[in-house]
């Protein structure tokens, strides 16, 4: 038997079944007309955003990193809830604009921006977080060609990283950002070019659960921003402090102490040096805003036994839930929170592995979990499916195609 990850708060039981935003899993499947499917709870997204605004100092804006969930209705909802959007491609720019996000609320980070992507962003009036000196030259040239003043910030590759984070994106040699020691010279050039100077973007990692680590990283980011601003020779209009607040996926994971993070950031901001006195700050979060609000529902199509082990084979799999299968940036496979949605109130009675329908041994959604006895036709719920699910999985693999998504 292997433990399962913790089921996020906010779900209920109705008639013995899992209920999402007050609606039974089986009713949602009937409405969709098909399994598997993704269901996102608007109420849980709103609650999460409200908790963040309550915890963060009022001087800090909140951005949604839309790569976590680019589903149109989620973007529209998020557009009403948060201050800004972080995008990482011209494709995401289109989706954000189509969802009604004003261009002046959008910033565009990411290595390898093509010239046509830079042009689209400059034309629209989006802030570019420059990832290199070469990109700065191309952005300035594009601005001249278009006759539009580009809005430019520099993404800094800090010398620190977010401790305990699932994905390190700062510290040492990286494809992201510009090494901190080269930033002042580059900032002076960008400012002198006549571009609209927007400041710094300092992102040091993702998926951390330790408030202490997040607090330490934010303090380091503030200190670095102050130092770079002082030697850049201009007031710092804006500073994106990164994000990194993670969600519990695995057995033993605990939620981040958000109040502690907010309080420490508030105290740090009260004591900033002169160079940051008038700076606007933001944090950028993806999975923390949407991850726990999403559930992937899939149906058991076969129940079989091999060498005494029970396998529940479902009609979904890693083509929609690559991360839950353990194949999206994890070193050791551990179980996500997974449950039998159609017997959500039943006591566990047997060990079973829930596997997907793909013809590869990688396709495991739960390994030797403790579940109530489930039969063909029962529904399985994979939780934490609101981020890096539908859009971060190889939907075309083996010809299955994407799963429908629903925001309720
Ligand atoms: C991926 C990414 C995020 C979002 O990360 P989460 O772990 O989903 O919060 C934020 N900022 C940048 C620059 C990213 O690349």
143 and 267 belong to one structural domain: yes
Specify whether 152 is located in the same domain as 281. yes
What distance in Å separates the CA atoms of residue 334 and residue 324, rounded to the nearest whole number?
8
Strands (E) across 231-337 are located at 238-240, 280-285, 294-306, 309-314
Could you give the C-alpha distances from 142 to 6, 136, 139, 146, 196, in angstroms and in order?
A: 49, 10, 5, 6, 14
Q: Which atom of ligand 1 is nearest to the CA of 129?
A: 13
Q: Which of ligand 1's atoms lies nearest the C-alpha of 68? A: 8
Of 243, 260, 285, which residue is a domain's last?
A: 285
Q: 217 in ligand 1 pocket by Cβ < 6 Å?
A: no
CATH at 349: 2.40.37.10
Burial class (CB in 10 A: 0-12, 13-18, 19+), 51: middle
Atom number in ligand 1 closest to CA 201: 13
Residue from 48, 285, 287, 329 whose mutation best tests the ligand 1 pocket (most atoms within 8 A of CB): 285
Which pLDDT score, from 0 to 100, does residue 297 have? 98
CA of 331 to the centre of ligand 1 (A): 19
240 lines ligand 1 (CB under 6 A): no
Ligand 1 contact via 109 beta carbon (within 6 Å): yes
Query: Containing domain of residue 391, as a range?
Result: 12-40+292-407
**Rounded average pLDDT per 10-residue block, the chain, 408 residues:** 97 98 98 98 98 97 98 98 98 98 98 98 98 98 98 95 72 91 96 97 95 96 95 93 96 97 97 92 98 98 98 98 91 94 98 97 97 98 98 96 98
Substitution candidate for ligand 1 out of 48, 49, 206, 248 with most atoms within 8 A of CB? 206
CB 206 less than 6 A from any atom of ligand 1: yes
Quote the ligand 1 centre to 106 CA distance (angstroms): 14
pLDDT of residue 165: 73
Query: 248 lies in a domain?
Result: yes
Residue 329 confidence (pLDDT): 83
Given this model, what pLDDT does residue 244 score? 94
Cα 137 to middle of ligand 1, angstroms:
25
Q: Output the pLDDT for position 168.
A: 62
CATH code for position 248? 3.20.20.10
Contact status, residue 355 vs residue 1, Cβ threshold 8 Å: no
At residue 167, the pLDDT reads 64
Residues 213 and 353 in one domain: no
**In 271-391, which residue ranges form alpha helices assigned H by DSSP?**
287-290
Q: Are residues 215 and 299 in the same domain?
A: no
Q: Using CA positions, which residue lies closest to atom 14 of ligand 1?
A: 65
Q: Could you tell me the CA-to-CA distances from 49 to 9, 23, 63, 206, 215 in Å, in that order?
A: 15, 22, 10, 18, 19
Phi-psi region at 310: left, alpha or beta (left = phi > 0; alpha = psi -120 to 50): beta
62 SS3 class: strand
Residue 136 half-sphere exposure toward CB, CA atoms < 13 A: 24
User: Is any atom of ligand 1 closer than 6 Å to the C-beta of 249?
Assistant: no
Residue nearest atom 15 of ligand 1, based on CA coordinates: 110
Please report whether residue 241 resides in a domain: yes
Whether residue 369 is contained in a domain is answered as yes
pLDDT of amino acid 172? 87
**Same domain as 333, residue 314:** yes
Q: Which atom of ligand 1 is nearest to the CA of 284?
A: 10
The domain tally of the chain equals: 2
**Of 285, 312, 334, which residue constitutes the final position of a domain?**
285
Query: How far away, in angstroms, is 286 Cα from ligand 1 center?
Result: 6
| 383 and 330 housed in the same domain | yes
**SS3 (DSSP) at 24:** strand
Q: Report how far residue 348's alpha carbon sits from residue 72's, in angstroms, rounded to the nearest whole number.
A: 37
């Amino acid at each position: 038997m292997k433990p399962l990850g913790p089921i996020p708060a906010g779900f209920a039981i109705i008639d013995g079944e899992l209920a999402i935003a007050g609606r039974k899993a089986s009713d949602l499947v009937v409405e969709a007309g098909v399994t598997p499917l993704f269901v996102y709870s608007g109420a849980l997204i709103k609650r999460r955003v409200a908790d963040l605004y309550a915890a963060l100092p009022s001087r800090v804006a909140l951005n949604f990193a839309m790569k976590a969930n680019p589903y149109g209705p989620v973007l529209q909802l998020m557009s009403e809830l948060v201050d800004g959007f972080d995008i990482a491609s011209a494709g995401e720019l289109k989706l954000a604009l189509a969802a009604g996000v004003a261009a002046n609320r959008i910033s565009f980070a990411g290595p390898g921006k093509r010239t046509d992507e830079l042009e689209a962003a400059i034309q629209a009036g989006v802030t570019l977080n420059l990832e290199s000196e070469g990109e700065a030259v191309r952005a300035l040239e594009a601005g001249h060609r278009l006759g539009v003043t580009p809005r430019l910030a520099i993404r800094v590759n800090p010398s620190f990283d977010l401790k305990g984070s699932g994905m390190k994106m700062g510290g040492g040699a990286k494809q992201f950002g510009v090494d901190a020691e080269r930033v002042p010279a580059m900032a002076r050039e960008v400012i002198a070019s006549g571009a609209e100077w927007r400041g710094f973007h300092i992102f040091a990692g993702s998926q951390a659960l330790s408030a202490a680590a997040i607090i330490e990283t934010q303090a380091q980011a503030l200190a670095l921003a102050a130092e770079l601003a002082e030697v850049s020779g201009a007031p710092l209009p804006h500073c994106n402090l990164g994000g990194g607040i993670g969600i519990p996926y695995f057995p033993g994971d605990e939620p981040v102490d958000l109040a502690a993070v907010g309080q420490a950031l508030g105290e740090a901001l009260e004591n900033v040096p002169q160079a940051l006195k008038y700076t606007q700050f933001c944090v950028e979060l993806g999975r923390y805003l949407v991850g726990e609000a999403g559930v992937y529902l899939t149906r058991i199509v076969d129940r079989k036994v091999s060498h005494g082990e029970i396998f529940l084979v479902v009609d979904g799999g890693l083509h929609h839930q690559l991360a839950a299968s353990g194949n999206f940036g994890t070193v050791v496979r551990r179980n996500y929170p997974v449950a039998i949605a159609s017997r959500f109130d039943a006591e566990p009675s047997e060990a079973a592995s829930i596997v997907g329908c793909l013809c590869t041994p990688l396709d495991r959604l739960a390994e030797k979990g403790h579940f109530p006895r489930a039969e063909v036709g029962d529904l399985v719920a994979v939780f934490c499916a609101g981020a890096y699910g539908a859009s971060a999985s190889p939907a075309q693999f083996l010809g299955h195609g994407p799963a429908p998504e629903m925001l309720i």
